[in-house]
A and B are shown apart, each in its own frame.
Chain A
């Protein structure tokens, strides 16, 4: 039984997301369903953002596909604790492939927040950082403070990965919602990455 709390401070997802976005240049970000992508949108839209409106749990494997296709670009997957719990297997897949340009960030409020704040397994029994390490991602750690988050992100996203970060966050919902147009989201992201013919009719 753990005698110390997993992380000492409850941080805020919107604040951390803004701090992340402030560090980014041309990195691609794949954000999971609900508050995770709402707060990414709320931090200011970037052409390299992919917002998920469904397919709970798939942000990491989508980001893996992008990372393999674009090995010189840093790729960041943002997920909630409920979402990552749904697809823990993807951590083993990513641990095996070990893409050096992939960063995974999990916002862990221990809640299925938008369905009525039912507790998740990470609220008590499951340590998601330990899960990531055991799945084969040794560079996995808890974010302790906002300054620690900044420090952890002071790196080249296109190298030294995969990196797995998780932050214990509060239960504040995202203040804005992403436009619900999946094909538009896809096209704008591909245009942002300069692939396909997404900008051909501009």
Chain B
């Protein structure tokens, strides 16, 4: 069963947090998206995880590299529009062979109402693949944890970039907070 709104808490969101926590993620950088709000709140409430709100997703690529250089695992949370901001900076990940775990909430697809989201949303998958990033797209709640576990293994086992795209169908209809 999928969410009816991106504001409704869903069990997979806590399962996703548990997967990150279980894998020893210690730093979480994010440019907020409503689809990540539960995960961000769980990270903020955890004394062993340092949450860092970023001004742009590029910073998150750098912070992940720095975390690894300092001996910690990290994750970067963003909306699909942020993927475009990261393209050049993913050179850092590929050139130095850094682990890089990205969790991307999608826009520009299921029940999207804003045409300005469509151009970037429609090319997230090929753009990330061109940047040598493993991409898994998740559309059902039961597929979230396996996809994240696989991405964790690819990133931190193989020293590479791996992204999990959380589809708009999974997250639910965009509702603006008033």
Contacts and interface: CB of A to CB of B under 8 A. Distances in A.
B71 A195 contact: yes
A68 B72 contact: yes
Nearest to B70: A69
Contacts, number: 118
A167 B67 CA distance: 28
Contacts of A64: 52, 62-63, 66
A55 B50 CA distance: 24
A186 B96 contact: yes
Given A65-B27, A65-B69, A66-B66, A92 B55 contact: yes
Contacts of A195: 69-71
A62 B69 contact: yes
Interface in A12-55: 28, 30, 50, 53-55
Chain B contact patch, size range: 20 to 34
A117 interface: no
B95 A62 contact: no
Nearest to B97: A183
Interface string A49-84: 010011101101111111111100000000000000
Given A55-B92, A193-B69, A87 B59 contact: yes
Contacts of A66: 66-67, 69-70
Chain A binding site: helix, strand, loop or mixed by DSSP? helix
A53 B27 CA distance: 25
Interface in B40-85: 50, 52-56, 58-72, 74
Contacts of A190: 68-69, 71
Nearest to B27: A68
Interface in A168-202: 182-183, 185-186, 189-190, 193-196
B96 A62 contact: no
A186 B98 contact: yes
Interface of B: 26-27, 50, 52-56, 58-72, 74, 88-89, 91-92, 95-98
10 contacts: A55-B61, A58-B62, A64-B62, A65-B27, A67-B66, A68-B67, A90-B59, A90-B62, A186-B96, A196-B68
Given A58-B58, A69-B69, 5 more contacts: A58-B89, A69-B71, A70-B70, A186-B96, A190-B68
Nearest 5 A/B pairs, CB to CB? A65-B66, A69-B70, A89-B55, A195-B71, A61-B62
